[in-house]
Amino acid sequence: MRSLKKTHVVIGGWILVCMMSARRITFQYPSYFPEPVYSFDKNLLKQEQIQLGRALFYDPILSLNDSVSCASCHNPFSAFAHTDHALSHGIYDQIGTRHAPALFNLAWHKSFMWDGAVNHLDVQALAPISNPIEMKEDLAHVIIKLKGSEIYKDLFHSAFGDTLITGERILKSLSQFQLTLVSCNSKYDSVRMKKKTFSDQEERGFILFQKYCNSCHTEPLFSTYNYANNGLPEDSLLKDYGRENVTEKREDRHSFKIPSLRNIGYTYPYMHDGRFKKLNEVLLFYSDKKRRTGQEDPRVRNIPALSSEERFDIIAFLQTLNDRDFVFRKKNQFPKEILLRGKD
95 φ, ψ (degrees, to nearest 5): -95, 135
Q: How far apart are CA 163 and CA 179, in angstroms?
A: 23
Task: Tell which one of 47, 67, 130, 190 touches another protein (CB under 8 A).
Answer: 130
Size of the site for another protein (CB under 8 A): 26
Question: Minimal distance in Å, beta carbon 314 to another protein?
Answer: 36
Would you state the torsion angle of the CA atoms of residues 184, 186, 191, 195, taken in this order, to the nearest 10 degrees?
90
Question: Are the beta carbons of 300 and 291 closer than 8 angstroms?
Answer: no
Among 23, 85, 89, 120, binds another protein (CB under 8 A): 120
Q: Is 133 one of the binding residues for another protein (CB under 8 A)? A: no
Whole-angstrom distance, CA of residue 154 vs CA of residue 260:
37
Q: Supply the DSSP symbol for 291.
A: G
CA distance 78 to 250: 34
CB of 166 to another protein, least distance (A): 5
Q: Which is nearer to another protein, 1 or 140 (CB)?
A: 140
Site for another protein in 48-77 (CB under 8 A): none
273 binds another protein (CB under 8 A): no
Rule CB under 8 A: is residue 252 a binding residue for another protein? no
Name 90's Cβ contacts closer than 8 Å, sequence gap at least 6: 63, 68, 72, 73, 96, 128, 131, 133, 134, 135, 136
Smallest distance from the beta carbon of 111 to another protein, in angstroms? 8
User: Smaller CB distance to another protein: residue 58 or 112?
Assistant: 112
Indicate which single residue of 50, 68, 103, 129 sits in contact with another protein (rule: CB under 8 A): 129
Q: Which residues contact 193 (CB under 8 A, 6 or more apart)?
A: 30
* Among 44, 45, 126, 284, contact with another protein (rule: CB under 8 A): 126
Closest CA to 255 of 88, 117, 109, 84: 117
Among 37, 44, 71, 127, binds another protein (CB under 8 A): 127
The correct pick among 81, 103, 246, 261 for binding another protein (CB under 8 A) is: 246
Nearest approach in angstroms of CB 261 to another protein is: 26
First to last CA, the chain: 52
Q: Which of residues 22-41 bind another protein (CB under 8 A)?
A: 39
User: Which residues sit at the interface with another protein, rule CB under 8 A?
Assistant: 39, 42-43, 117-123, 126-127, 129-131, 138-140, 143, 166-168, 171-172, 175, 246
